[in-house]
Amino acid sequence: MFERYTEKARRSIFFARWEASRFGSPFIEPEHLVLGLTRCTDIIGEALRADVEQRAIKSTPTSASVDLPVSKALQQAMHFAAEEADKLGHQHIGVEHLLLGLMAYEPDSAVPGLLRKHGIDRALVLSRIPEPPVEDPDERESLRTLVDRLPPRFLRPAKMALEHLQGLAAAQPGINDRWLNRPRFGPGIISGGGEAGWAGGKGRGRRSSTRFEDGVEVVETHHYRDGIEITLIERFRLSEDGKTLSYTHEVTGPGNSEQHTIDFAVD
């Protein structure tokens, strides 16, 4: 469900889930997502947050470890967010797309009106979305020429490298050009996606997934190096009072396993 979401967008929904439990809601509603977004974007100010909190229905808080479903209203807003991303030709869904989705959903929700009341409209949100890079036809043609000139024995690793980059674009939509241009993508080095990664005759690869377990965001990554698999499991848990974000990483490899937890104060 969240494969297209950027890290900030996933984090916003994570915090929205915590906000819902704080208010004792049986569902994660659009209002809770607005509150979650305040932690991940500066478009939403404190005045809007206070307005939403004042209007939110309050009940006995529930445990942050209890799974809460997304309401139909928020499901619709998230659907609109995906449509907005598609209309703009964006592979990823970011916090700006989520805001556009919240604006598009009107029935039974006060959120669109609250956003407009505080000066957050479609034009403002669109202005905060970075323009996608313009494709250079000459670069694409140059790439075809390079592939055509490759000796046959290099075609397979070149194909795998391109497949990896396609997977990277889908799995990590928020990745920036500076990261892509790091030396790891230089001559002779290919960072593989899934189990098909290959470099210099030695098997290399990586596959990653994100899920939620009892209100905890879990990121599981499997690394493959020279026939050895190393598994990294990262867990993000927000405390009941919302003041501490606990990060736990567990690394498991052949004959060894280590786990560490770090607590971070949340402003």
Say if CB 9 and CB 97 are below 8 A apart. Answer: yes
Which domains are assigned to the chain? 7-127 (1.10.1780.10), 156-265 (no CATH)
d(CA 10, CA 209): 13
Residue 180 has pLDDT above 80, yes or no: no
pLDDT tens for each residue of 5-47: 888 898 899 899 989 988 999 999 999 999 999 988 889 888 9
Q: What is the DSSP code (8-state) at residue 154? A: G
CA atoms within 13 A of residue 34's CA, in its CB half-sphere: 29
**Residue 219 clears pLDDT 60, i.e. is over it:** yes
What's the rounded Cα separation, in Å, for the pair 172 and 3? 8
Q: Give the bridge partners for 70, in sequence order.
A: 28
pLDDT at 240 (0 to 100): 72
